[in-house]
């Protein structure tokens, strides 16, 4: 087996995941300038956000399957170049249609990364350290994709215009792709066939979906969490600029703070959910949305705006590790968690399509705060479902009440 330095590989995967979200989110931070320059509506802006998600969904399964057949690095490196070059081209868009087209193409590359990226980390890190490695890997999205991107894009756009941040982050991605190509070698695992009389169990998606009521509850909760997240994050910089009167650079920085706080929320919610339970951890974060949004509405000072943004940053990111990985891992057997996680991500991304499009449409009809009220309602529904769902944390749930589903039959 070709050995890669596991830390170099992890850092490059972290950077890749971070720049994927930077390319996905930079448009929100320059939106106050871009929507005026291109004369696009909030509905059209929501469509440009969801265009990435739609093509991301299409390629998520394709990229993972392709990497199983041709190799991880052979999928990851072209994917990085693809979405990075197209992000650079977004900076040259002259209207809504080319912007929508380019954003859709970006999703084809970004969606191709997740499966082979996670598989590459799994293959390069020892089993006892994979949880730490994958947890660190996931923090690339809030730290690079939201926090750094918000600050940097706001400052660059204020000085050189809204197009320049796309060029900057596109070039950063290209450099990351070159480093990946030069430093990471394709793992070549020698197949090991252990003698066994038991054939390998194949599990269908329908078996996973019907295996556990708590798993299904979690999917529904995740859908509303994603609607909540995207209907806030897509329009927060525009709201801060147009309603609160912040400069583009300040709006980007304040919105970026949500990513830094969100990174802490993602780590902490998983840790304390082991002790207080998954339901309680979910409800704490959802209550944070119900507190943070009204606080943001009535805030008149930079201090109060920052405080509301900190609360929202924690609240909108903390549910992700619970819904995307921890709860499925509680109720689905280990050998089928990959399939369960793939279904979970797909359902979540459907919410990522609905949030920006419906939020933008409501903003056009009722004003820029309408998407936040959509998020408020989604948080209430997710909270009610969290109360109904049985506890799944191993330290708290009774084995007779909750157990691993049997998918082997």
Cα gap 252→223, rounded to integer Å = 26
Contact 332, 404 (CB under 8 A): yes
- Which DSSP state fits 125? S
Q: Yes or no: say if 389 and 283 are a contact pair by the CB < 8 Å rule.
A: no
pLDDT of residue 396: 80
As a whole number of angstroms, the distance between CA 9 and CA 177 comes to 12
Look-up: residue for tokens 């730490």? 132
The whole-angstrom separation of Cα 48 and Cα 42 is 10
pLDDT of residue 131: 55
Q: What's the pLDDT score for residue 342?
A: 64
CA–CA distance from 89 to each of 103, 105, 149, 165, 170 (Å)? 10, 11, 18, 11, 8
Give the separation between CA 349 and CA 357, rounded to whole angstroms.
13
Write the DSSP assignment of 18-87 as a string of letters: HHHHHHHHHHHHSHHHHHHHHT--HHHHHHHHHHHHHHHHHHHHHHHHHHHHH-HHHHHHHHHHHHHHHH
Buried b (16+ CB within 10 A) or exposed e, 67-84: beeeebbebbbebbbbbb
| Whole-prediction pTM | 0.79
Ordered alpha helix ranges (H), 234-336: 236-242, 248-276, 278-298, 302-317, 319-321, 327-331
Q: What is the C-alpha separation between 306 and 301, in angstroms, rounded?
A: 9
* pLDDT tens, N- to C-terminus, the chain (409 residues): 567 788 999 999 999 999 999 998 899 999 989 999 999 999 999 899 889 888 888 787 677 667 777 888 998 999 999 999 999 999 999 999 999 999 999 999 998 887 788 778 877 877 656 556 766 787 888 899 989 998 999 899 989 999 999 999 999 999 999 999 999 988 765 433 343 344 445 555 555 556 678 888 899 999 999 999 999 999 999 999 999 999 988 998 898 899 889 888 888 887 788 888 889 999 999 999 999 999 999 998 999 999 999 999 999 999 988 887 778 777 776 555 556 666 777 788 889 889 999 999 999 999 999 999 999 999 999 999 999 988 888 778 765 455 555 555 5
Residue 92: how many other CB atoms lie within 10 Å: 11
Span between the terminal Cα atoms of the chain, in Å:
34
DSSP state of 202: P
Q: In angstroms, rounded to a whole number, what is the distance separating the alpha carbons of residues 356 and 289?
A: 17
Q: Distance (Å, rounded) from C-alpha 245 to C-alpha 230? A: 22
Q: Which helix (H) or strand (E) holds 236?
A: helix 236-242
- Residue 144 has what DSSP assignment? I
Encoding tokens for residue 7?
A: 């830390």
| CA gap 79, 67 in Å, rounded | 11
Could you tell me if 181 and 76 are in contact, meaning their C-beta atoms sit under 8 angstroms apart? no
Nearest C-alpha neighbor of 238 from the set 148, 363, 373, 358: 363
For position 343, what pLDDT does the model report? 74
């Amino acid at each position: 087996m070709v050995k890669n330095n596991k830390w170099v590989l992890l850092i490059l995967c972290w950077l890749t995941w971070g720049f994927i979200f930077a390319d996905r989110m930079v448009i929100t931070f320059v939106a106050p300038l871009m929507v005026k320059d291109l004369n696009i509506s909030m509905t059209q802006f929501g469509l440009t956000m969801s265009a990435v998600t739609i093509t991301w969904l299409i390629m998520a399964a394709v990229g993972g399957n392709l990497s199983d057949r041709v190799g991880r690095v052979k999928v990851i490196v072209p994917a990085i170049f693809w979405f990075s070059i197209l992000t650079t081209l977004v900076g040259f868009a002259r209207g809504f249609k080319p912007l929508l087209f380019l954003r859709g193409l970006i999703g084809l590359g970004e969606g191709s990364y997740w499966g082979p990226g996670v598989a590459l980390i799994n293959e390069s890190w020892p089993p006892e350290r994979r949880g730490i490695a994958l947890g660190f890997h996931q923090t690339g999205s809030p730290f690079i994709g939201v926090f750094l991107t918000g600050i940097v894009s706001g400052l660059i756009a204020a000085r050189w215009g809204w197009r320049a941040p796309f060029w900057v982050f596109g070039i950063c991605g290209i450099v990351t792709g070159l480093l990946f190509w030069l430093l990471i070698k394709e793992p070549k695992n020698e197949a090991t066939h252990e003698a066994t009389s038991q054939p390998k169990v194949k599990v269908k998606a329908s078996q996973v979906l019907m295996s556990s009521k708590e798993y299904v509850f979690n999917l529904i909760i995740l859908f509303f969490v994603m609607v909540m997240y995207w209907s806030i994050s897509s329009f927060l910089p525009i709201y801060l600029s147009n309603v609160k009167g912040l400069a583009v650079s300040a709006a980007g920085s304040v919105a970026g703070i949500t990513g830094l706080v969100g990174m802490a929320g993602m780590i902490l919610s998983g840790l304390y959910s082991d002790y207080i339970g998954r339901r309680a951890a979910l409800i704490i974060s959802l209550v944070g949305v119900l507190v943070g949004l009204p606080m943001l509405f009535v805030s008149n000072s930079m201090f109060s705006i920052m405080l509301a943004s900190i609360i929202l940053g924690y609240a909108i990111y903390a549910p992700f590790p619970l819904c995307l990985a921890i709860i499925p891992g509680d109720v689905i057997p280990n050998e089928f968690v990959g399939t369960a996680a793939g279904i979970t991500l797909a359902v979540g991304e459907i919410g990522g399509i609905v949030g920006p499009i419906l939020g933008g449409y409501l903003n056009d009809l009722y004003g820029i705060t309408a998407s936040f009220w959509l998020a408020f309602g989604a948080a209430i529904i997710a909270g009610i479902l969290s109360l109904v769902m049985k506890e799944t944390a191993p330290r708290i749930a009774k084995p007779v009440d909750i157990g691993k589903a049997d998918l082997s039959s």
